[in-house]
Structure formats: C-alpha cells, structure tokens
Structure 1
Amino acid sequence: MPEKVHEPIAPLVICETDPRANLSDVERAMYKEVLEHFSDPAYCIPTLENGELTEAEQFWLSRECLLRYLRATKWKSGTAAIQRLESTLKWRREYGLYDAVSASHVEPEAVTGKQVLFGYDVRGRPGLYLFPSRQNTEEPVRQIQFTVWMLERTVDLMGPGVETLALLINYGDKAKNPSLSVARTVLNILQDHYPERLGAALILNVPFLLNAFYKLINPFIDPVSREKMKFNPRVIEDKLFTPDMVMSEWWGGDSDFEYVHEKYWPALVDMCESRRKTWLEKWRALGGKVGIKEWDYKGGASAQTIDSEKVAEVPAGTEVAPAVTVA
C-alpha cells in the first residue's frame, strides 16, 4: 500500500519563459499609464486615512498584478483598471488581509480539513480542494475569512509564470450546502478582488439539490468563470493532473492523502511564510517598488528544465510543477 501523505506538496520552478512578456503598443501604453499612477511618490489610496501605500501594498502591485486588472477590464482603459485596483487596495486593507485575517484567527475553520492545498495540475496551477461535508462551524464571517486566507496561500504557492489556481470541489459524503448569501459574498470577493485567478473549477458528486443551488447562483457567476467549470471530470484520464499530483480518494490519483491538522497546518503556514519572506527580500533587492515582475522575484529567469516525461504528457509550452513532498 502507498504511504499516506499528510502534508502539502512544495512547488518547484515550473516555467522556462515569461508568458506575459509581450504586449501590443496599445497595451503597453495602458500599462504605462497604470504603472505611473501608482508609482507617483505622492499617491494615496482614495478615501482612506493614511492612504500612502505600505511596503506590502507596493509588493502586491507587481507588473503581473497590474496586467491582471487590465485584462479583467478587457483593456477598456487605464482608468478602468486603476479604479478596480484602487477598490481592491481599499478592500484588502479594510478586510484585514495584512493583520486581522491571520493564520491563528482562521485556524478553527481549518481543523477538519474542509479546504486543502495539495498538488499542481499539468499547467503548474496549485490545487485547492474543498470538502463541504467537513464544515465544522456556524460563523459565516470567519468561514469567508478562511476562504480568503486560503486563496492568499494558494497565491503564495504559485510558481513563476503561474497566476491561476485549480479548484477541486467534492460534494460527496453528504456535503452541506452553503447559504445563498455566503455563496454570493464569496463570489463577489472572487470576481471583484481576485480577477484572472481561477484557472479551472472541477466539481464532483453534485446532487439534485445542489444542482438547483448552482442554478440559483449561476447569474452571479462571471461568464468567463462559468466556462471554466467542469462537472464530474476524470482528472487523470482527461490529462488535467498527473497521478502523483492528485489525491487518490474520489479523484483517482496516486497520493493517499489523509488530513491530519497537527501535521498539515504548520507545514502549510511555514511553507507560505518562507516563500513570502524570500520573495520580499528579492523584491527589495530589485528596487522594492511598484511594477516589479513576479517573474523576477520568484526566480523565473533561473527556471530549471522540465522533466522530459512530463513534457510529453502535456501540450508544448505548458508549465509543469514536479512533486516534492515536504519532509
């Protein structure tokens, strides 16, 4: 029998070329407009007291971040992207992402393993598993904060050249249906403040009542995101994941994962904190300002060669994340 796995998988470098390197002349002009707006030494976030950008906020405003918001506004104008970015900057500060929404605050939500980060799909996107049947609390505010905290950790585990995640939801084992208000709040946060982050939503075992629930929330889901949803996929056969990168139970992979909070939680927290610390140090060394490439501070320029067997399994140019189990 395979040895049980209790911890997340550590990411490695997964991309050989910067996938966001080239812009058209029009796109370059819009990007320059947005970059100059937030790079102004006198800039302050509108309507906020002490609205000067903190180091953490300047770090968040990477080149890729600005481009994500430009893409999210469909390159309508630099002004449109600036407005959305400022809305998110204000929300991130007021929501408490830099202080109040901490690992210790949300940990009571994590003890049953109802959300787990584990493995990478064939495009190098981290897999975020949701198990609604493991719901253990009745406090919707902290439940939503936990979801946001896990989204932030998913971003921490994205390698150079990767900007999206793979969401894997299993409604088996008598899953509990979230309220419509909670679902709408989460969807609004995702659409407003995490644009261009969902790569795929893979959903298993949707019962009749949940089908009805999805029909209720469907009008609130962005059409682009809706197209990324796949129901009852076979992730190995469909070549979405390699067997070593996906859980065996329900999903058919080779990893016999078992959630043990005392092992998993500190490993995840330590891994993410270590990565953020390393990236921040590199970002400072690169000048510590708005618009620095995630590609550069994540080490994309020194990407290692991808394993030839994995390359053969996926389309040319696709990023692949090798598996490394944390000791």
Structure 2
Amino acid sequence: MSNGSSAQPDPQTHAQSSSSSFKSTSSQLAPTETPASSSQVTAATTASGVQEEEPEWQAPQGRSLTTPITRPMKTAEPKPPAALTPEQEVKYAMVLAAVSQWESLPTTTLKGAPSAPIQDHERMWLTRECLLRYLRATKWQPPAALKRLQSTLSWRREYGADTFSADYISPENETGKQLVLGFDNECRPCLYLSPSKQNTKMSDRQIHHLCYMLDRTIDMMPPGQESACLLISFKGSGNSHVPTVAQARSVLNILQNHSPERLGKALISDLPWYVNTFFKLISPFIDPVTRDKMRFNEPQRNYIPPMQLWTTHGGDLDFEYKHDDYWPGLTGECDRRRAAARERWEKGGKRIGEYEAYIRGGNHPCLAQVIKEAGGEDTVEGGESDADLAAAGVAKLTV
C-alpha cells in the first residue's frame, strides 16, 4: 500500500533525462512509494490518510512508450495457489527444517567441490514459495527437492548468476532482442524473445543474458504471482538465428532445473519450417509439464490485455525500443524492487521460509508475525528460533 500521493511522474521523460548512464536509477514511482508495493496496488493513501483509487495504467498519449510497464491492468488477477493437503504440509515442513540448518553449500555443482558459508541473499531466496516450487517439481519428494535446491544454489555460485551487472549484459540487449514488457491476464510479467534481433556472436554472455533477463522478470512479479509469460517470435528469423541444440539444452537447463514452476505460459509465434524441425529435435529434452504450457501461433490477445501487448504481437501497445531509455528504466526499477524486498526480509527477521507476498510488498504478514499470532513465539524479534520450523518434530533431512 502506498503512503503518498497516487500521482506518478512520467517514466519515459524521467528515463530520457537519465539516459547518459546505464547505472541510472530513473524512477516511475512517487517519492514515498515502495517499488514492490506499487506493482500491484489498487488504492493509494493521501497525506490525510484517505484511501484513493489508483488510476488504471495508461500508455503515453501521442508518442511511443520506450520504458518498462511497472504494474498490471486492474482486470488482471493472479490465480490463488492451491491449498496444501496435510501430507504436503508435512513434506514442506521437512524441507524447511532441513534447509534452515544449512550453514554452508558447495561452491560448484562438481562432486567433491569445496563449500563456503551460505550468504544472506541465498537465505532470502529460500522462501516458502521457492521450497514449494521445488517440491512440486519433484512430485513432492523431500529428498529430491532438497537435492535440487542445493544444486541450484551451487549452480548460481558456479555460474555467477548473482554477479552479472547491467553494464556487462547491456551490449547483448542493444537491439531489444529480450524485453520485459507488460503483464498478462494473470499478472505474469511478459518476457519477449526475438531471435531475429540477435546482435552478437555466440558466447557465454548470450546465455548469461537470458539468465539475467529471467531474474529481472522475476523482480517484476507483483505480490501473489510467481510465474512468467514468455513470448517468442521467430518473425524475420533466418537459419542463422536458430539456436543450436547445445544452446537450447543450456536454456532448458536454466528453465527446467534451476527455475522450476516459473513458466506460466510460452506463446510461440511465426514459426518457419526449420524452427519446427528445431523444436522436434529438442522435444525429448522438454519435460511434459513445460510442453503443456507452450502455445503455438495462438492469438496472444487471448492471454494478454491488448493495452499492454505490443503491436508487433497483435496488441494495441505502441512501443519503440530505445536502449538508452529502456535499459536504465528496467535495471533501475529492478534495483529498487530488490532493495525494497531485501529491506522487508531483514525487517521480518531474515528468515528462511519467508512469504514472497510479504517480501514483494503485498498485504500478507511476515512469517514472524504469523508464528507469533499462532502462539509459536513470545516475540517476533530476536535471533533464530525453532518456532520457525513447523517441522521441529519431524525428521531432519540432509541432501
């Protein structure tokens, strides 16, 4: 919930004034508004404390939008998560108990790799919803979920996923071949992939670029949403723009093994014959759950509000990619959201198993408050507590 006026500065004008540096923190928010809370709020609080309805998102009039969209349409709404069964609650508690005891992790995915202490950003990554995503991805097998959780954290260390800077990635995106732009009907942030706009030769940085943009897509998720919508258009692509099978397998490794349950929909369009052949080649590497989320050559207005769907994909959004506007706009917005999320996580007690809705600025209470209200602690402050662990009496597991 915002504590200031609902009026916001023009994001495009602000971004243009800051385009001289990709380290810009150009803002689309009112000075007192927190980034995560602004991503999905329906009301703002004035200085007098009166609730005022926030206006619907509108594209700029008389000119093209050149910066990211910071909030979904009011008609968009995430689907509520399915309630856990008693058996699933116990399995979640087992995983929470185990990861809460992790003090160090392997620095690479190689067998026998040296370990290093777990860092705060890794503890923050281990949210309640994260643990549940890995449990669902492993068909509710706690040992398998724990193994994959550790593998992902070790992979991120080995891959350097948390060290890629905006300046390092910037050259890969100068043509706008990947864009985080708008939200679908279920508040999923949309990531556009346009292979025809490939502007660099094959290198590790190309895959780093995708990893970086997936993380930025996650940054843009509003409270209550944990998956993304991919829009992949092969319009204008030639044989040289089709990734190799090795590249595709690297991408699938990131999506399926290290970002499980993050794909909500994949809308794939303008497939020439050789791309169809490519999909047949990689089909054996795509798990059935991922394959079921893929839609080929369907009207994308069925899934995304036309006002936030780019005209190149059949929508009504007049968007023009200008790197000097878009890149600082995206990276600055995501930097602010991550900083606000980190502040909330620390305020909530820096707990493993924290609620993502709380971290993202939603109305959900923090884990410490939930525990306190349930009678698990006398106070929400202080050090680590076994009351965090719903599984305190459940068997302790190791990877």
Bin the TM-score by the shorter chain. Answer: 0.7 to 0.9
| 1:142 corresponds to | 205
| 2:30 corresponds to | none
Structure 1: distance between partners of 2:214 and 2:89: 29
| 2:96 corresponds to | 35
| 1:171 corresponds to | 234
CA contact 2:311–2:317 (8 Å) conserved in 1: yes
**What letter corresponds to residue 228 of structure 2 in structure 1?**
L
Structure 2: distance between partners of 1:252 and 1:121: 14
State yes or no: 1:10 paired with 2:70: yes
Q: 1:148-297, aligned counterparts within 5 Å?
A: 148-175=211-238, 176-236=241-301, 238=302, 240-249=303-312, 251-297=313-359
**What letter corresponds to residue 7 of structure 1 in structure 2?**
T
Structure 2: distance between partners of 1:91 and 1:174: 32
Partner SS state of residue 116, structure 2: coil
Q: Percent of pairs identical after alignment?
A: 45
State yes or no: 1:133 paired with 2:196: yes
Aligned-residue offset at 1:2: 5.0
CA contact 2:175–2:199 (8 Å) conserved in 1: yes
Residues 133, 18 of structure 1: CA spacing in aligned structure 2 closer, same or farther, 3 A cutoff?
A: closer
Aligned-residue offset at 1:39: 1.0
**What letter corresponds to residue 277 of structure 2 in structure 1?**
A
CA contact 2:161–2:208 (8 Å) conserved in 1: no
Q: 1:46-57, aligned counterparts within 5 Å?
A: 46=106, 47=112, 49-57=114-122
- What are the superposed Cα offsets for residues 101-140 of structure 1, whole Å, 9 maximum, x if unpaired? 2211111101010001100000000100011011011133
2:151 paired residue among 74, 81, 87: 87
Residues 177, 64 of structure 1: CA spacing in aligned structure 2 closer, same or farther, 3 A cutoff?
A: same
Count of residue pairs brought into register by the alignment: 297
Structure 1: distance between partners of 2:79 and 2:337: 20
Structure 2: distance between partners of 1:248 and 1:25: 47
**Residue ranges of structure 2 left out of the alignment (5+ in a row):** 1-60, 107-111, 366-399
**What letter corresponds to residue 37 of structure 1 in structure 2?**
A
Aligned-residue offset at 1:235: 1.5
TM-score by length of 2: 0.71
Residues 138, 291 of structure 1: CA spacing in aligned structure 2 closer, same or farther, 3 A cutoff?
A: same
Aligned-residue offset at 1:298: 1.4
Residues 298, 252 of structure 1: CA spacing in aligned structure 2 closer, same or farther, 3 A cutoff?
A: same
Residues 16, 187 of structure 1: CA spacing in aligned structure 2 closer, same or farther, 3 A cutoff?
A: closer
Partner SS state of residue 200, structure 1: strand
CA contact 1:16–1:300 (8 Å) conserved in 2: no
The structure whose Rg is larger is 2
Aligned-residue offset at 1:255: 0.8
